[in-house]
Chains A and B, each alone.
Chain A
Amino acid sequence: MSPLILPDPDRGVTSRRNDIVKQLKRLVPEATLIADEEGCRTFESDALTAYRCLPLAVVLPSSTEEVSAILRFCHDNHVKVVPRGAGTSLAGGALPLEDAVVLCLSRMNKVIEIDPSNRVARVEAGLTNIAITEAASKHGLFYAPDPSSQIACTVGGNIATNSGGAHCLKYGVTVNNLLGVRMVMMDGEIVEFGGKHLDAPGYDFLPLITGSEGQLGVVTEATVRLLAAPEGSKPILIGFDSTEAAASCVAAIIAAGIVPVAIEFMDRPAIHVCEHFVPAGYPLDAEAALIVEVEGSEDEIEYLLEKIEDIARDFLPTSLRRSQSPEETALIWKGRKAAFGAIGQISDYICMDGVIPLSQLPKALDEIGWICRKYRFDVANIFHAGDGNLHPLILYNANDSVQLERVELCGGEILKLCVALGGCLTGEHGVGIEKRELMYEQFTDEDIDQQVRIKEEFDPSWLLNPGKVFPIEGRDAQRMRSIELTDLGPEVETGVEVAIEAELAEGHEVP
């Protein structure tokens, strides 16, 4: 039983299902159309797997013109549309609706052009994030945003959620690296925004489109900025005996005028789980560890790492280790990038995405620990510390519906904490359905009304990805309040302690 509800399906649409599928088939004969239950099952959820819904049908177009024809048809027949890339949303942004057609862009995956002189790439929206860099690397160029899911996630999905990644402290997020889009409006009209030039003539629609979670139009092509690949890069791994020390070290590095290309933070449970999964030499005796990476020439890297080590020594690190080889660097990042998967092997989890001002980091981690203990869940923290984007992973058992409901309450409380500390609900995953009902924590009626008015100018009938981002007022809020904290059930056994025990068994010292 899911705590979050979806809009009531339009029975007028679901009852015409066969007819709609038939017409779509005739309309775009070249596109792949999936209408059988087995086939639709593949698309019933995204990476927020706790929520599932079989769509009316799934269509995989191969051109902007097909997207246009499909949207025009759906517009004229009042059929809802859920755009989808690779379905890696952790917030339910691509969750289907019973009365909606899923428009999956994954077949539109071509690199249209790499233009090294102007340092831009034009690609189809269904291309994976990593494929841009793969295509650009022979020119010494790369595409900067690098979300953890970059092997799978698509450019279109990145635009929908304004994806960041480990290296956005220096290079910015998707909105800072997007120069243009080709987009199809809900009525089928094809519009170009931006291009190879910088800055917009008139209003700048790109920031509005970026992060709008597929609610304003369907992006089919993107022009993105490519950057020159750095000469070299090197991480340093620093262990601390408290999260406060680690957090203060991050602030001190930035205060010294250094902006490393990445500063990743791992707490004790995360360190142990990752080390167990990929033996990268993470400091098992530490309460917290930082991976700080700098870029540049060899001289510059040495200079910066020395400065960073000097700063770190003020916070009495338990260990300081520079990567000594490209292999070691790869291993350090492999452990970090595999973290979610590693934790996923020991337990189900929900991954939160709140952002806090950096100065609040020790307080935030302390409170998150307290909240999770209150709800009796284990939590592992692994996140981009430089920008304050927290990713607490709350471990729970997804097969237990009581736990699901409780873990969502726990996550909700953490996000409310982030807002109360001066931050926000989501840094890069998007609101989706997951955080929809929390929007009033951050915004007033007027704030939300303003966003809704924009939505209504672009899509007056609310056919594009409805039920996401904006609260479905009243009903849920009431429901969420009705669960009493006194009725939390038994303590939950998760795998962190098991993993730590396994490390101990292998002879690692754990104080």
Chain B
Amino acid sequence: MTGSMRLGFHAPETEEELAALVFEAAETRTPLEIMGKGTKRELGHPVGAGAVVSSEGMSGISLYEPTELVMVAKAGTPLAEIEAKLAENEQELPFEPVDLAPILGYAPGDGTIGGVIATNISGSRRILKGAARDHVLGIRAVNGRGEVIKAGGRVMKNVTGYDIGRTLAGSWGTLAMMTEISLKVLPAQRETRTILCFGLTDQTAVEALCIAMGTPYEVSGALHIHADLAARLSDEEIAGARIRSPRSGSRISRPRRAIGPTACARRCSPIARRWNSTANAAKRSGTTSARRCSRTSPIPLWRVSTAPTQAAKLVGNLSRKIDARVVYDWSGGLIWIETPPLTDAGAVDIRRQLAELGGHATLIRADDATRAGIDVFQPLEPQHAILSAKLKHAFDPLGIFNPGRMYRDM
């Protein structure tokens, strides 16, 4: 039921304005769709809200102290602006944010930092540096009661009260709407070396990646791309396992020796070049497999999180049921799977495997009808469903933020 609140699009420019808006929405029980620039609107269940609230009016870097490795930015600040500012000081977001915009049919770099944190989708370097949420030092937000809240701060270590900032990471705007985020940043990797191994089976490739991760050479990317996908990558002839290490050139032979005997690769060669100069946002993990697809004919794309050692088995079992195209990242801990346009986008088969092997799956891209028909996010165990509802209630007791975005009854 909708009250007297003005529907349509809102982009408040201050926290106070947002708080007043949310307060009014709560009073009138008006559901709100929360977004930044809306580049991930096609992800998750469609939100049936009368009013849309965007953070784009709250934009700008409020504080940047390169020597403290800290940046504080308003939630609506474009990711591109943040990355450019950091690059001026040879720093970067360590978690290598995945830019989903091209996958979902938008221009690269369009998304906001609020969207990056709210979805907590980290790139290849997550295995070395941690996830997006790990770099959240503090937040300011408006909760579902229309109250301005803050948690954490702008310092590296903080256990003063509950860690609400990192809890909001990955909550998809369903708990509170972030207005400002402080982030830990790091010096950019100046030089990286990449080892390419060709002709490996999935099982052997994942084993090789796991061995590489067990070495002390600070491997910052561990990727395995199926040959049929790799063959279609026009700009890079990348296939097989790809291991990226940010250390000095003389050391690349050591990780190569470590994985060599196991991998039994037909060819295992280091390429010496700056990864960052050739890899743009669209080539980051996940995007690689999907960037050629247009939004009008979206091939279903899944993001599966599991224990690395289960990855090849999961994909093997799945391949017996459906025709899946696969990229393994995080040394097998993250699997991007393209499935044929089945009614359920392969949900039943993927989740049946996960029930046995452990982990979870999120449908990143599919057409509206498919997304309306299946669980986009991993269905929760009853215990977790109850606790999630409680957490939601603690922040947004009237359920006005992004109703149904993650789970239909929440």
Contact = CB atoms under 8 A, between A and B. Distances in A.
Contacts of A257: 90, 187-188, 190
Interface in B151-172: 151-167, 169-171
A435 B158 CA distance: 13
A189 B383 contact: yes
A446 B247 contact: no
B340 interface: no
Contacts of A200: 170, 360
Contact of A430 (B130, B159, B164, B384): B159
A299 B250 contact: yes
Interface string A373-398: 00000000000101111000000000
Given A207-B167, A228-B213, A359-B68, A199 B158 contact: no
Contact of A208 (B163, B187, B250, B380): B163
Interface stretch (B5-13, B100-108, B288-296, B386-394): B386-394
Nearest to A120: B307
Contacts of A387: 155-157
B277 interface: no
Q: Which of B67, B147, B333 has the most chain A CB within a 10 Å cutoff? A: B67
Nearest to A162: B159
B157 A173 contact: yes
A412 to B, nearest CB: 14
B170 A199 contact: yes
Contact of A422 (B90, B155, B362): B155
Interface in B331-346: 333-334
A322 interface: no
Contacts of B69: 254, 259
A39 interface: no
Contacts of A449: 147
A258 interface: yes
Nearest to A204: B170
Contacts of A149: none
Contacts of B406: 202
Contact of B65 (A359, A443, A454): A359
A351 to B, nearest CB: 15
Given A117-B210, A140-B214, A228-B213, A198 B333 contact: yes
Given A300-B248, A422-B155, A450 B68 contact: no
Contact of B147 (A161, A359, A450, A456): A450
A502 B380 CA distance: 65
Contacts of B330: 198
Contact of A446 (B68, B70, B148, B391): B148
A491 interface: no
A424 B380 CA distance: 35
Contacts of B239: none
B150 A443 contact: yes
Interface SS of chain A: loop
A446 B16 CA distance: 14
Contacts of B162: 208, 211-212, 451, 454-455
A162 B162 CA distance: 10
B66 interface: yes
Contacts of A386: 156
A259 B334 CA distance: 28
Contact of A202 (B187, B207, B378): B378
A228 B217 CA distance: 8
Nearest to B251: A297
B370 interface: no
Interface in A116-167: 116-120, 139-141, 161-162, 164
Interface in B95-124: 120, 122
B16 to A, nearest CB: 13
A102 interface: no
B275 interface: no
B149 A447 contact: yes
Interface string A162-192: 1010001100110110000000000001010
Contact of B159 (A172, A358, A431): A431
B126 interface: yes
Contacts of B250: 299
A116 B149 contact: no
B317 interface: no
B62 interface: no
B167 A204 contact: yes
Interface in A175-234: 175-176, 189, 191, 193, 195-205, 207-208, 210-212, 228-231
B159 A450 contact: no
A199 B305 contact: yes
A313 interface: no
A75 interface: no
Contacts of B395: 450, 453
Contacts of B377: 201-202
A210 B166 CA distance: 10
Interface string A394-436: 0000000000000000000000000000111111111100010
A196 B134 contact: no
Contacts of B394: 450, 453-454, 456-457
Nearest to B362: A201
A454 B126 CA distance: 29
Given A117-B309, A204-B167, A446-B147, A230 B216 contact: yes
Contacts of B156: 168-169, 355, 386-389, 427
A443 B170 contact: no
B167 A203 contact: yes
Given A208-B163, A426-B160, A454-B391, A255 B67 contact: yes
A357 B213 contact: no
Interface in A433-464: 435, 439, 442-444, 446-451, 453-458
B180 to A, nearest CB: 14
Nearest to B360: A201
Contacts of A251: 67-68
A456 B175 CA distance: 16
A469 interface: yes
Interface in A33-58: none
B151 A447 contact: yes
Interface in B73-112: 90
B143 A203 contact: no
8 contacts: A164-B157, A175-B166, A191-B383, A201-B360, A203-B170, A422-B154, A450-B151, A453-B394
Q: Which 5 A-B pairs have the closest CB atoms?
A: A207-B166, A201-B360, A427-B157, A387-B156, A257-B187
Interface of A: 115-120, 139-141, 161-162, 164, 168-169, 172-173, 175-176, 189, 191, 193, 195-205, 207-208, 210-212, 228-231, 251-252, 254-255, 257-259, 296-297, 299-300, 303, 355-359, 384, 386-389, 422-431, 435, 439, 442-444, 446-451, 453-458, 469
